[in-house]
Structure 1
Amino acid sequence: IAQNLGIPADSVKRVKAAMHHVILQEVGNGHLYVELDNLKAKTTKLLELDATILGQKMKNGLHELYNTNEIKLISHDNQHFVTSPQNYFSEKGCALKIQHLLEHKSKLILDTNKVYEQLRTAKGEVELNDDQQKGILVNRVQLTFSLVIKSFKKLPAPTEGN
């Protein structure tokens, strides 16, 4: 499409669009992040250009996308990952809420055996073996599946400062 619009094959604009496309494809495949080298390889393949030709343009495109907050870069253990801001803030918001839940003991006192029995008999779908039941008790996880879902529905949207 870009070539039909007169955009040169090695244009930074086209490279940025291809990177966006690769990220969207990965999200469509169930991935929240794309490893940077994988993003570069897939972008090169998509554009059908030599990697040496695209090298600097891809670097410029990544910098532009990052500087305009169109992508987020996450580095961990010398690996670099790229994602959309939406996925970044959704994931960060969930992680912060989970961290908060782990740090603050629930005021709910649940009879986990009773809750488990109600879930098992009501739905016929939830069955935990003895080790799984003990794991829940040992780790003091006192929220049922439905309570977790309800609490995540109540979460405010994450903000950049959080």
Structure 2
Amino acid sequence: MSRYRPPRSAGTALITPAGEAALRAELHELWNVQRPKVTQSVSEAAAQGDRSENAEYTYGKKMLRQIDSRVRFLTKRLEKLQVVTERPADINKVYFGAWVTLEDDEGEEVRYQIVGPDEFDLKKQQISIDAPLARALVGKNLDAEVVVHTPEGEKTWYIIEISYPTYED
């Protein structure tokens, strides 16, 4: 008997042009490069005979299922996503796509870009618009105080800079 797992929430359907390009590149790589290689290796493994004890065949079929699952997800997700290519009317407030520099009570600064849930990457200082910090920042002006509830308690930041990337068509 399998264990039921509710489907993961897809999150906000916004994405930056760079994020969309990355998802399309991943889809292309999976469909046009990885899947044909795995299909070829499965065919070669199947030609060896007994499939019940053939590890290469079993592993290849598993890889095909994983690739096909990710391809289905990316195809459906890309259809629903809205690519944000324009800056907001009021660039003095924090909205989707903004780079925001924050300062905490100790004077330490951090800088984040607010991006879609499909493209967040903390190593690149990109946080999801669905994250608690981003939700607290959206709509705030320069010099605003932002309080976020964290597992360690309340954390206060001050917005010291807001900038937006320029999108080229």
Q: Normalised by the size of structure 2, how large is the TM-score?
A: 0.25
Q: Which of the two has greater strand per residue?
A: 2
TM-score by length of 1: 0.26
> Which structure: greater helix fraction?
1
